[in-house]
Amino acid sequence: MERGAIPLGEFPGPFDLQSTVESGQSYLWDRADGRMYDESGAYGGDAWYESVVRVDSEPAVVRVRQIDDRLEWESSVEAAPILRERLRLDDDLPAIRAATPDDDVVESAFDAYWGMRLVDDPPFPSLISFICSAQMRVGRIHGMQRELERAFGATVEFDGRTYHAFPTAEQLAEATEADLRDLGLGYRAPYVRDTARMVADGEARPEEAAGLDYEDARESLTRFVGVGDKVADCVLLFALEYLEAVPLDTWIRTTIEEYYPDCDRGNYAETSRAIRAAFGGEYAGYTQTYVFHYLR
């Protein structure tokens, strides 16, 4: 086992691990104490978090916790560069906040969870996670991903325990709709199966959206079965580095209705443009994530 520590003072702005991985952005982390997504408004904790990542296509376990101004990690590989990328430690958080509007709701959200970062998840697991997210609470979405891992993912031994990686598209494509319904996916089961088959067969890959203009990238992702504009925006924001993306889920639509009614334009595309402008444009997705975690 390798161990190390990452001093957080070398990165721009503060960092908070708990809110970063327990704010509905990622469903690829778990808590060693089994309490993932048990509490709303998660912030400031020192629990161990675990994830199975892929290094040169091979699964490896990474554990991390935050103790004051450092991240302590344990892994079978050198985890510091993985954590730096996946937790976006290099983002200049003070500059991002300075670019957001002077707005009471936004300022309150940043004050409450200052240090929360966006995640940078692998695109395929992110895509599947958010296909599963429709009409589901974050704890249930998280549970679905653990079920998929246990049923279809490769196993990896680490520190006397057996872990499961998130299944590859090829592994998940072998599942039947009945298999997935048995795991509790309900009507999402054929969406997950068919999207996995699209990727496994080479028909489409979520990474193909990267580099396109934002709205073209969103349209590219809607090729996948079960993916509408909201799910596409989630994948763009949390896996493909489109920091301007604002997923218009129930919480954000309620926020628009209550605090930004002028941004409601009656359809997704126009409302999206309006709320992105209200949330600061280039970093609107950061603003959205703070507001979502604050008001949820």
Domain at 228, CATH number: 1.10.340.30
In this structure, the answer to whether residues 40 and 129 fall within a common structural domain is no
Across 137-148, b (16+ Cβ under 10 Å) vs e yields ebbebbbbbbbb
Q: Flag whether 204 is in a domain.
A: yes
Q: What distance in Å separates the CA atoms of residue 135 and residue 138, rounded to the nearest whole number? A: 10
Domain end position, chosen among 33, 63, 89: 89
pLDDT digits (tens, 9 = 90+) for 164-192: 999 999 999 999 999 999 999 999 999 99
The pLDDT score that the predictor gives to residue 135 is: 82
In this structure, the answer to whether residues 137 and 222 fall within a common structural domain is yes
Q: Flag whether 286 is in a domain.
A: no
Dihedral pair phi/psi, residue 60, rounded to 5°: -145, 145
Q: Answer for the pair 174, 138: CB distance below 8 angstroms, yes or no.
A: no
Q: Flag whether 101 is in a domain.
A: no
Q: Flag whether 66 is in a domain.
A: yes
Q: Flag whether 53 is in a domain.
A: yes
Domain end position, chosen among 213, 233, 253: 233
In this structure, the answer to whether residues 78 and 154 fall within a common structural domain is no
- Looking at the structure of the chain, the number of domains it has is 2
Per the structure, the complete domain to which residue 155 belongs is given by 123-233
User: Is the pTM value of this prediction over 0.85?
Assistant: yes
In this structure, the answer to whether residues 77 and 144 fall within a common structural domain is no
The burial of 101, by beta-carbon neighbours within 10 Å (0-12 exposed, 13-18 middle, 19 or more buried), is given as middle
Q: Flag whether 248 is in a domain.
A: no
In this structure, the answer to whether residues 225 and 148 fall within a common structural domain is yes
Q: Answer for the pair 84, 90: CB distance below 8 angstroms, yes or no.
A: yes
Dihedral pair phi/psi, residue 272, rounded to 5°: -60, -45
In this structure, the answer to whether residues 127 and 221 fall within a common structural domain is yes
pLDDT digits (tens, 9 = 90+) for 114-152: 999 999 999 999 999 999 998 889 999 999 999 999 999
Q: Flag whether 7 is in a domain.
A: yes
pLDDT digits (tens, 9 = 90+) for 218-250: 999 999 999 999 999 999 999 999 999 999 999
SS3 32: coil
